[in-house]
Structure 1
Amino acid sequence: MGIGSSRGGAADILTSVALDDDLLDIKLAPASSLCTTVRDGAVRLRIEPTGPAAEPPVTVHQMFKRTLKRYGDLPALAVKKDEVWEYITYSEYYQHCRTAAKGFLKLGLERFHGVGILGFNSPEWFIADIGAILAGGFAVGIYTTNSPEACQYVAENCNANILVVQNHRQLSKILQVQDQLPHLKAIIQYQDELRERRPNLYTWKEFIQLAADVPDSQLDSIIGSQKANQCCTLIYTSGTTGHPKGAMLSHDNLTWVVKRAGEMLGLGEQEVLVSYLPLSHIAAQVVDIWIPMYFGGTTYFADPDALKGSLVTTLREVRPTGFLGVPRVWEKIQEKMKALGAKSSIIQRKVASWAKGIGLQASYNLMNGVNSMPWGYTLANILVFRRVHAALGLDRCVRCYTGAAPITKDTLEYFMSLNIPVLELYGMSESTGPHTLSVHSAFRIMSTGKEIPGCKTLIYNPEEDGTGEICFWGRHVFMGYLNMEEKTKEALDEEGWLHSGDLGKQDEDGFLFITGRIKELIITAGGENVPPIPIEDAIKEELSIISNAMLIGDKMKFLSMLLTLKCTTDADTGEPQDELTPEALQFCQRLGSSAKRVSEVVCSKDSAVYKAIQEGVDRVNRRAASNAQRVQKWIILDKDFSVAGGELGPTMKLKRPTVSKMYKEVIDNFYKESAP
């Protein structure tokens, strides 16, 4: 593509360096450009002469071998079978990955072709992912919520030779589109028995047995030929604004960022984590697979229904040392805890309220670098904080994080009041996950923290207040989008800066604050730029009954808003139900409303609820920067947004174009008449 840079880099390196007492050959494929879109391409690494970016590049296999030497006998993975946790050591883990790699070779995996993985988190998911890399292919996670057509698009785009599926439900999707996948050679189902026999369809056990026919020397030859500046993993975007794009990540992208991010977090040996977020997302892969591998941690697998209610049970059993939750996970925990608190006695509620005031002050003291604790902290810790932490399974968790979507200040302060600072991180698939991180010694509420050492941030075309597009530089910046040259040129400029599409600014201390997204920016008919997220968050903070809020008004004379109410969800399907959540019920009861269902509120246009919502909107409007940023009309929709309904992506991020199409008639009605 010809995108280059005058910055420090590495072209054709063949040298030896000492790393952890091992002499490793650091070999890079010849490359002159910082990006590529071809599957067997290589890139010039952004190696600097000194500092964190000067780290010698290594492949995934080299990193794994280093881990094996240090932590071979320690538990790497833990999975629950028949109510008992079973452990896989790093030595066993490595051998399992080699076996899978040989199985893939036996099935005909070609170099730089995909192994698609479609299923919930499990040891087989990890082993298939790493095995695909060792065998010289691409590891490709596919979202379990994908339709058959979406699965077909990803599998065809990466030239998948092999697809690994969890069960018959996921298998059936592939069978519907199998005739449209000319590169597909085999399908492997890793859970449950096969319901029917088909050519080139294998159980996991049958697949593993294929490895016996492939000599170690054949696999070792492929491993030895791999270069750190070549692609090993594809992360497909969730497709909220069009077809998914396959972000090409190199060995160096993965191995460099996990070391630097882990060191910034102060990770040590024997970290304990719970794997439950979709592994097709880069955040889950970095946190669940790669960081534990580098630092010798143990990853426990949650039950498949984790996000439907069983997650806290797993957390209480495992008691992780670190936990990452997307904002919706933290919001759900907050809602359940508030509902439980409402059932407490008056004395218990007063004690909790007193303790939470102390907890919030203690958390702000920590944020502001004040070493002293507020008066009463020790008693509050004994009476409330310790009990809450234990009940959530977070009693030994020293790092609680959130990312992948915006979170409200209300939710952050709620957990701060319980002495659980939830710290924000920020990045994207194209930056191999994290670009900025918050740590206990350096964080600001509503900030995503500071960049990882060795990375750089540029605020492009800043406004007077310093807000502009956030751009990244570093060894974590991806290679390019597979087979998408124009999209790659849009993401990477001529100097190699990755343009995030996010708007934000840095304060004088280097903390990054995200204010919105360029593509989400609403430009009114009067030409005023309105970032929707701050207004949406303000509405949700004012009104505890509101679950989701979506601002409307691009090219329109005024702003309007779609609102949904907090309701229960079906534990099996994730579909929103009609019944209001306990928190929403309390909101109604305080107003004197007897409504218990969403339909009761919407169909009757419950006067008390509608009046309270209008008053909340009015309060937000009074704080607006201009008249153009005030919400003039709103409507409560019949049901909440959900992944199952298509309004939310796999990480609970709002799919604005989809919602706009689904509710086009509702939106059009806002503007048939002039604003009130």
Structure 2
Amino acid sequence: MAGIISEPGIRSIPGLLLARIRSTPDAEALRFRGASGWESLTWAETGVRVRELALGLLSLGLGDGRTAAILSGTRVEWLLADLAVLATGAATTTIYPSNTADECAFVLADSGSAVVFAEDQGQVAKLRSVREKIPGVAKVVVIDGDAGSGDDWVITLDDVVALGRDQHPAAYDRAVEAITPDRLATLIYTSGTTGRPKGVELTHDNWLYIAEAVDSLDLMRPDDLHLLWLPMSHVFGKAIEVAMINGGTPTAVDGAIDRIAANMAELRPTVLGAAPRIFEKIYNTVLATVRAEGGVKLRLFRWARAVGLRHAADRREGRPSPLWLRLRFALADKLVFAKLRARFGGRVRYFVSGSAPLSPEIGEFFDAAGLQIREGYGLTESSAASFLARPDELRFGAIGRPLPGTEVRIAEDGEVLIKGRGVMRGYRGLPEATAAALEDGWLHTGDIGELDERGRLRITDRKKELIKTSGGKYVAPQAIEGKIKAACPYVANALVHGDRRNFCVALVTLDPDLVAKWAGARGLSCDMAELTPNPELRAAIQEGIDAVNATLARHETVKAFAILEEDFTVERGELTPSLKLRRRVVEEHYRDLLDGFYDGMIEKV
């Protein structure tokens, strides 16, 4: 184990940070984009910045029992602000920068946040527009830009740091020493796929457990380089933050999704966490590229993929591959897979996939290429990390065994129940919802799953999202949607519909980048309204759906589909901020289209 979590006396995240600074003060901690390129901070330098900012917050009245919010994308200042807030004894409330002004107002009022870190003037304007709804917010701290004119409600990050430099350093140590493990550390509001968002209360001990569990699996090492792009407003990103402090893992921070590939090629990281959509995008880009090139390159890719899949399957099952397969794989690796690994810097030790189910087809392909994906599972209510696939027992389609210290049980109706130190203390101000979610210490996840003979968990669907056809048959739409996205390289999102209907249909959206390349190669317009009815494009998607249908029971098969002109969006409420599908919202938005499948308005395929 590389971490310092086992050292005596660590009772909080700020305490963990101080232990890390004592252990490796001069090692690189954070790397970030500055005015002239990548800059970095050592652990000691990180500690100085956190201390100054925390002292400034203490001078503003933040401290024990209070909360502060961060309304920003992922950047190094997010991490520094979070650690500084925690060091005062306060708790951090996370808010997605994509949230509307009214959504921000709800979270700020419900959490009782006294201070808000706002990324830029756009976020400040959002807060000003709802100021009368957030009377408890005493200060807004803007990260980029000046405070503007008018009043002193808004100050800059530099202003707070300057306040901190005028304070006695001992105040920081006293505040950190007073933090107990049961103190509230983080408030994360659930995405609210239905109804009111709920504030999940996570304590310092919840996060220290995550640090311990991750450390026992040797996931984050001092000699790794971790690329952090995950939304820090999401629990997945927060779990990674704690793990990298414990592991002393240098972390490059850049929240720009469109720079992930370029950053990987430039930085050559060894560890990266992502949602399945990122891996789907990579896979579909590779597939679309070789299909467009056709000829020898396409045949070579298909041959290498088949060889790689068989070779990887032997490795996962612990059986030796025959000599002829080993020789073919060596050639396939040299001609195809090594080039793919080079696109990601050539040093990736593993990826972690979380926040949604990973298609087995995607996982198997990456594994064949020597880019291992370890799928994890957890909820905001369980501090993100409850299960993780171990490298020596990968089985795509199954997540893995529980982390050490986490218990799992499958209820009679198939619901996955979790117990352990990672489980939240409750929902803020909602005792009835807390009691419903936590029964005798067991967290009701709302997910349907099963355990295999080795204790690995397989999630089949959301309890409330299972489709029951008019014939009484159950269908798990998430699994089919994942298969469609893996089989159709031009599909960005898919929704399978069929509850109380006599057959299943699908709505699919297109990946604009990949479809633009496809259209350009054929001299076609890139306008989605012109492309969606294109017979050749429709045939390509139909081919993928046919392949998926061949793996399904008859009642699960997709009998018809429609291509939408635009993707699902967070702004229209069709996706949560963490990009999960809000099924009921999408179905309502496209109610007439879906009804048409069953009314004979759209031709069955």
The TM-score with structure 1 as length reference comes to 0.82
Is contact 2:471–2:502 with CA below 8 Å preserved after alignment?
A: yes
- 2:311 matched to which residue of 1? 362
> Equivalences for 1:379-418 in 2 at 5 Å?
379-393=331-345, 395-418=346-369
> Equivalences for 1:500-515 in 2 at 5 Å?
500-515=445-460
Q: Within 1, Cα distance between the matches of 2:506 and 2:296?
A: 40
- 1:263 matched to which residue of 2? 216
Match of 1:661, SS state, is: helix
Q: Per-residue displacement from partner, 1:37-61 (whole Å, max 9, x unpaired)?
A: xxxxxxxxxxxxxxxxxxxx72222
Residues 1:362 and 1:633: Cα distance change in structure 2 (over 3 Å):
closer
Residues 1:103 and 1:345: Cα distance change in structure 2 (over 3 Å):
same
Code of the aligned partner of 2:259 = S
1:660 is the counterpart of 2:587:
yes
The one of 639, 645, 648 aligned to 2:575? 648
1:377 is the counterpart of 2:329:
yes
Code of the aligned partner of 1:502 = D
Q: Within 2, Cα distance between the matches of 1:21 and 1:507?
A: 32
Is contact 1:105–1:135 with CA below 8 Å preserved after alignment?
A: yes
Q: Within 1, Cα distance between the matches of 2:162 and 2:475?
A: 58
Is contact 1:100–1:208 with CA below 8 Å preserved after alignment?
A: yes
- 1:36 matched to which residue of 2? none
Deviation at 1:77? 0.7
Q: For structure 1, which runs of at least 5 residues remain unmatched after alignment?
A: 1-18, 25-56, 463-467, 569-578
Q: Within 1, Cα distance between the matches of 2:200 and 2:230?
A: 19
- 2:417 matched to which residue of 1? 471
Q: Within 2, Cα distance between the matches of 1:346 and 1:139?
A: 55
- 1:96 matched to which residue of 2? 49
> Equivalences for 1:245-264 in 2 at 5 Å?
245-264=198-217
- 2:233 matched to which residue of 1? 280
Q: Within 2, Cα distance between the matches of 1:614 and 1:211?
A: 61
Match of 1:376, SS state, is: helix
Match of 1:433, SS state, is: coil
Is contact 1:424–1:446 with CA below 8 Å preserved after alignment?
A: no
Residues 1:615 and 1:232: Cα distance change in structure 2 (over 3 Å):
closer
- 2:553 matched to which residue of 1? 625
- 1:299 matched to which residue of 2? 251
Is contact 1:72–1:90 with CA below 8 Å preserved after alignment?
A: yes
Q: Within 1, Cα distance between the matches of 2:268 and 2:80?
A: 24
- 1:133 matched to which residue of 2? 86
Q: Within 2, Cα distance between the matches of 1:260 and 1:607?
A: 52
Q: Within 2, Cα distance between the matches of 1:284 and 1:217?
A: 31
Code of the aligned partner of 2:262 = T
- 1:189 matched to which residue of 2? 142
Is contact 2:348–2:371 with CA below 8 Å preserved after alignment?
A: no
Match of 2:130, SS state, is: helix
Match of 1:374, SS state, is: helix
Q: Within 2, Cα distance between the matches of 1:193 and 1:361?
A: 58
Q: Which moved more, 1:629-638 or 1:163-172?
A: 629-638
> Equivalences for 1:511-550 in 2 at 5 Å?
511-550=456-495
Q: Which moved more, 1:354-363 or 1:341-350?
A: 341-350
The one of 369, 375, 389 aligned to 1:438? 389
1:81 is the counterpart of 2:34:
yes
Is contact 1:366–1:441 with CA below 8 Å preserved after alignment?
A: no
Match of 2:404, SS state, is: coil
- 2:270 matched to which residue of 1? 321
Deviation at 1:389? 1.3
Residues 1:557 and 1:107: Cα distance change in structure 2 (over 3 Å):
same
Deviation at 1:78? 0.9
Deviation at 1:428? 1.1
Is contact 1:258–1:291 with CA below 8 Å preserved after alignment?
A: yes
- 2:529 matched to which residue of 1? 599
The one of 109, 118, 131 aligned to 2:62? 109
The one of 424, 428, 442 aligned to 2:379? 428
Q: Per-residue displacement from partner, 1:246-275 (whole Å, max 9, x unpaired)?
A: 111111110121221232144332321112
Q: Per-residue displacement from partner, 1:497-537 (whole Å, max 9, x unpaired)?
A: 11111111111011111100001112334443321112323
Q: Which moved more, 1:423-432 or 1:524-533?
A: 524-533
Is contact 2:287–2:489 with CA below 8 Å preserved after alignment?
A: no
The one of 195, 198, 207 aligned to 2:160? 207
Residues 1:23 and 1:274: Cα distance change in structure 2 (over 3 Å):
closer
Residues 1:497 and 1:157: Cα distance change in structure 2 (over 3 Å):
same
Residues 1:319 and 1:611: Cα distance change in structure 2 (over 3 Å):
closer
Code of the aligned partner of 2:587 = S
Is contact 2:33–2:39 with CA below 8 Å preserved after alignment?
A: yes
Deviation at 1:442? 1.6
1:60 is the counterpart of 2:13:
yes
Q: Per-residue displacement from partner, 1:552-601 (whole Å, max 9, x unpaired)?
A: 23233443322223323xxxxxxxxxx82435878xx7xxx967543224
Code of the aligned partner of 2:575 = L
Match of 2:378, SS state, is: strand
Is contact 1:114–1:155 with CA below 8 Å preserved after alignment?
A: no
Q: For structure 2, which runs of at least 5 residues remain unmatched after alignment?
A: none
Deviation at 1:639? 1.4
- 1:486 matched to which residue of 2? 432
- 1:38 matched to which residue of 2? none
Deviation at 1:301? 1.5
Q: Within 2, Cα distance between the matches of 1:103 and 1:652?
A: 35
1:450 is the counterpart of 2:401:
yes
Code of the aligned partner of 1:298 = P
Deviation at 1:438? 1.1
Residues 1:23 and 1:438: Cα distance change in structure 2 (over 3 Å):
closer
Is contact 1:363–1:421 with CA below 8 Å preserved after alignment?
A: no
Q: Which moved more, 1:546-555 or 1:158-167?
A: 546-555
Code of the aligned partner of 1:334 = Y
The TM-score with structure 2 as length reference comes to 0.91
Match of 1:475, SS state, is: coil
- 2:285 matched to which residue of 1? 336
Q: Within 2, Cα distance between the matches of 1:70 and 1:347?
A: 54
Residues 1:632 and 1:451: Cα distance change in structure 2 (over 3 Å):
same
Residues 1:380 and 1:566: Cα distance change in structure 2 (over 3 Å):
same
Q: Which structure shows the bigger proportion of residues in helix conformation?
A: 2
Q: Per-residue displacement from partner, 1:426-449 (whole Å, max 9, x unpaired)?
A: 111111111111122121011111
Q: Within 1, Cα distance between the matches of 2:553 and 2:74?
A: 45
Q: Within 2, Cα distance between the matches of 1:383 and 1:623?
A: 31
1:69 is the counterpart of 2:22:
yes
Q: Within 1, Cα distance between the matches of 2:573 and 2:195?
A: 14
Match of 2:341, SS state, is: helix
Residues 1:615 and 1:320: Cα distance change in structure 2 (over 3 Å):
closer
Percent identical across equivalent pairs?
29
Q: Within 2, Cα distance between the matches of 1:647 and 1:478?
A: 27
Q: Within 2, Cα distance between the matches of 1:399 and 1:611?
A: 36
Q: Within 1, Cα distance between the matches of 2:547 and 2:168?
A: 70
Q: Within 2, Cα distance between the matches of 1:552 and 1:232?
A: 40
Code of the aligned partner of 1:654 = L
Deviation at 1:291? 0.9
Q: Per-residue displacement from partner, 1:297-321 (whole Å, max 9, x unpaired)?
A: 111112x5x21x2211111221111
Q: Within 2, Cα distance between the matches of 1:261 and 1:427?
A: 13
Residues 1:533 and 1:169: Cα distance change in structure 2 (over 3 Å):
same
Is contact 1:106–1:213 with CA below 8 Å preserved after alignment?
A: no
The one of 358, 367, 370 aligned to 1:419? 370
Is contact 1:110–1:137 with CA below 8 Å preserved after alignment?
A: yes
Q: Per-residue displacement from partner, 1:401-420 (whole Å, max 9, x unpaired)?
A: 21111222332233233221
Q: Within 2, Cα distance between the matches of 1:286 and 1:613?
A: 37
Is contact 2:11–2:179 with CA below 8 Å preserved after alignment?
A: no
Q: Within 2, Cα distance between the matches of 1:186 and 1:120?
A: 19
Aligned-residue RMSD, C-alpha: 2.7
